[in-house]
Amino acid sequence: MSRTPCTVLAFATTLLACACASTGGASPDPAKPTALEVEVPSIRHPAGETPQWWFRDGAAQAAARGAMSGRAKNVILFVGDGMSLTTVAAARILDGQRKGGPGEENRLSWENFPSTALSRTYNTDSQTPDSAGTMSAMATGVKTRAGVLSIGQQAPRKDCAQALKAPVLTLWELAASRGFATGVVTTTRVTHATPGATFTHTPERNWENDTELSDEARADGCVDIARQLVETPYGHGPDVLMGGGRKNFMPVSERDPEYDDKVGERLDGRDLIAQWKQRHPEGTYVWNAQQLADAPAHGPLLGLFEPDHMQFSQDRPRDGAGEPTLAEMTRAAIARLKQNDKGFVLLVEGGRIDHAHHYGNAYRALTDTIALSEAVQAAVDATSAQDTLILVTADHSHTLSFVGYPKRGNPILDKVRGSSGEDDGNGSYALDQLGLPYTTLSYSNGPGYIGASAQQPEGPKRFLHTVSGVQIPKNGRPDLRNVDTQDPDYLQEALVPTAAESHGGDDVGIWAHGPGSDAVRGNVEQNTIFHFLLQSMPALRGELCKAGDCDDNGVPVTLPDPDKFRAARE
C-alpha cells in the first residue's frame, strides 16, 4: 500500500489529520485505524446504480472508517438469518432467564464485542429484502435484486441468459481461487439462499436442484445450485461445507441413509456426493453427529445432516440419527480451516431463526438465536483476536414486536405482568381495553392470526400452522389467562392473517471483534460488510491489487472480473 500524503483525507463526516514527518511533527498512532478517501461518483437513485457503483461505494464506506488498517489472517462472518434487533433483545432475556437471572442484564456472546454498527438491508428492487439479495450483498460487495444469488442487478429474476452475463465474484470464490481455505456452515439446506450466495450465481434462488430449473433456463445453460457448489471453478470449492439438503445432491434412484421413505430428488442421474468425493479424494463425507465426531481433524469435509433443513434447536434432541449443534459444526470447521497457513474465510449461518419467525413461533426463533450465540462463543474460543476478525450480523429483520410495560424479570414468552401504560404496574396481568391479557411478544402478520383457518379453530394457534381458509374471528381476542404462552409450540398472535410471517425492512445490527473491527461503526449499506472483511485481510485484498483492481492506496475499488479467478477448464 502506498504511503498517505500529508493531507487531510475525508469521506462523509470522517476526517483524519495526517501528521507531517518533519521536525516537531507527531508520529501517527499505529493503534488508530487510518481513514482513506475513495471518491464515489454522485448518481441518481435507483436509475444510476450499477454493480461497479455499489462496489466502489461499499469500498469507500469501509476505507473511510479505517478497515484498511486491519491485519486479519482469517475472517468469519456469522449471519443470524432474520435476526432482528428485537430478536436479539428477546433472545438475550430468554437466555438470561434460563440461567436463573431476570434476563435483561444478560449478554449474548457477540454483545461483548467492542464494535457495533447498523446495516441497511434493502435490495435494489425492494424496500423489504429477502435472504438471497442480502447475502449476495455481503458476499460480493454489490447490492442486487431480491431472489437472485451473486449476480448484478441488471439481470432480471429468472432470466438465465442475462444472469450468465452478470456474475459477481464472491469473497469465498476469491479466497478459494488463491489458495486460502474456505468454509460454509448452516442449519438450512446448503443450497439455500444464504449459503448458496458464497459459491453460486443464479437468477433464481429456488433452483436448488435440476428439477427446479425451467426448460428455458436449461436451454440457456444455467446450472442448479447444488451442482454449482460441487463443480465450482474457483479453486477446489469450499474446504468445509456443512448443513442440510442431502436430497438436492442425490439422484432419485438412491434412498436416503436416514429415512427409509425418502429418496434423492435429482432427475439428471448425478450423484453429487460421489462427485464431491472424487474431486476431494482426501476428504470426508458425513451425515450424522457421530460420524462428524469421528471424522479426521484434517482434509476437506462435506456434512449433509438432513434431506431438507436441519432441525430447530428445540427439536434436534429428537432426531433419530443425531445432528450436531451449530457450535459443534463451527468448531469442526475452524479446526480444519486453520491448518491452511494462508488463512481462511468462513460463513456460519443460524438459518432457521428466519424459518421460526415465518412460522410465527417466537420460541424456536429465540432458541435458535441462543444456539447461534453459542456458536459465536465457540469461534471466539477457537481463534485469536490477534489474527481473526469475527463479524456477526443479520441479513434482514422480521415483524416481531416487544410490547407493553412488563415488570423487570417478567418471562419474555409470557403475558405482560405490569402495565399497559407508563404508569406503575402492580405485577398482575396488564390488560388491553377489552380487559384481556396479552403477550410481551407478538407479530405484525403471520399464521398466529386468531381467526379460524381450514387447519385450526378460532383462538390461539399452535406450531406448525399451515394456513389457508382464514376467517374473521367471531369472538374477538382470546382470553390467554389459562393458555401457556411459554409452550414451545404456542404461536404469538398476529395482527394481519398471512400464510407466513414476513420479513421487516428495518436496519439490523453488526457486531465485530478482532483485527479490523474498529472500522465497524455508524450506519452502513449492507454491501459494506464485504469490504470490511476484504480490507481487513491484507493478503486477500492483495490478490485483487495484483489483478489491477486497487487504487493508489491499495484499496480494492474496481469490481473484479470473475474470469480472472476461475480455474482453467479441462
| Contact yes or no for 436/477 (Cβ under 8 A) | yes
Burial status of residue 26 (CB atoms within 10 A of its CB: 0-12, 13-18, 19 or more): exposed
Among 327, 423, 345, 427, smallest CA distance to 382 is for 327
How far apart CA 145 and CA 130 sit, in angstroms, is 9
Strand-pair partners of 523: 118
Cis previous bond, 46, omega within 30? yes
Neighbours of 497 (CB within 10 A): 18
Angle between helical axes of 362-382 and 326-337 (0-180°, round to 10):
30
- Side-chain-facing half-sphere of 387: CA atoms under 13 Å: 12
Q: Which amino acid is at 233?
A: P
The dihedral through the CA atoms of 129, 558, 529, 508 has a sign that is negative
The distance between the two most distant Cα atoms of the chain, rounded to a whole number of Å, is: 84
69 is catalytic: no
Cell of 234: 474457483
E strand map for 111-210 = 115-120, 181-189
C-alpha cell at 313: 434447536
Q: What is the C-alpha to C-alpha distance for residues 106 and 96, in angstroms, rounded to an integer? A: 5
Q: Of 69, 131, 397, 536, which is the active-site residue? A: 131
Tell me if residue 260 falls in helix, strand or coil. Answer: coil
Closest CA to 393 of 95, 84, 94: 84
Question: Which of the 8 DSSP states describes residue 156?
Answer: P
Q: What is the CA radius of gyration of the chain?
A: 24
Give the 3-state secondary structure percentages of the chain, helix then strand then coil, rounded to 5. Answer: 30, 20, 55
Tell me if 399 sits within 8 A of 391, measured CB to CB.
no
Give 117's strand partners.
510
Q: Tell me the C-alpha distance between 171 and 180, whole Å.
A: 11
The number of helix segments (H) and strand segments (E) in the chain equals 15, 21
365 three-state secondary structure: helix
Q: Are 129 and 506 in contact (CB under 8 A)?
A: no
Residues ≥6 apart with Cβ < 8 Å to 371 = 187, 313, 325, 326, 327, 350
Catalytic residue numbers? 131
